Amino acid sequence: MKIRLNHYLSNAGISSRRKADQLIQSGVIEVNGKPVFKLGTIIHTNDIVKFHGSKIKSKNKIYILLNKPKGFITTTRDQFNRRTVMNLISCLSEYRIFPVGRLDCSTTGVLLLTNDGYIAEKLTHPKYHIKKIYHVSLNKNIINEDLDKIRKGKISLKEGKVKVIFIKKNDKNKIEIGLSIGWNRVIKRVFKKLNYKVIRLDRINFGGITKKNLKIGNWCFLNKKEIENITK
């Protein structure tokens, strides 16, 4: 697998990604016996990388799937001592894992936690167009005209027009929606603009990862095939 050299250094715990760029430019990083100075250098994960002459060992990568419940903040820590998703995986505290992207406090469903910065960027950077699918429950029945407005991209927010991959009605006030944009609270803001209130929001798919019949609040390790599907 290919990866940017600064990502590799960050994943190995040598430094932050920004600091890694400074290390590269200073000439203390070698790849396969040759100093590397160029920012943005791409390497293979099986290349031999050295820092001040010592071989760097990549950390074991951890991939956790959590079915997030309501009432937990999606962050590693909170200054107001509110419950975070890390409380749900406290038995893994020895690993420096972090949540990939954010689900707000009231949103439930698929959340990935990992120590793999490459995967985190691939799942969250807009250029990769990662699909996310949600089940939405509204405070009242939705009319077809409003569904069409969303489907045809006629709803605009401050970031621009909202483009969805698909939207369908599962029941009178229950919607399934797929999109690849990652704007903050985008689904709640779209329906608010159409005078609906989202009373339940559940992410059922994130980049092909599903809840796998996990009960709310439970977690599991992703298997090798699931990880390979993410890294394609």
For domain 131-206, the CATH architecture is 2-Layer Sandwich (3.30)
Q: How many CB atoms within 10 Å of residue 83?
A: 13
Catalytic residue at 104?
Answer: yes
The catalytically annotated residue of 21, 47, 78, 104 is 104
Give the pLDDT score at 147. Answer: 97
Contact call for residues 43 and 34 (beta carbons, < 8 A): no
CATH code for the structural domain at 2-55: 3.10.290.10
* Fold of the CATH domain 63-126+209-231: Alpha-Beta Plaits (3.30.70)
pLDDT tops 80 at residue 12? no
pLDDT level of residue 231 (50, 70, 90 thresholds): low
* pLDDT at position 195 over 90: yes
Distance CA 87, CA 10 (A): 25
Tell me if 2-55 shares its fold with 63-126+209-231.
no
Domain residues of the chain, as ranges? 2-55, 63-126+209-231, 131-206
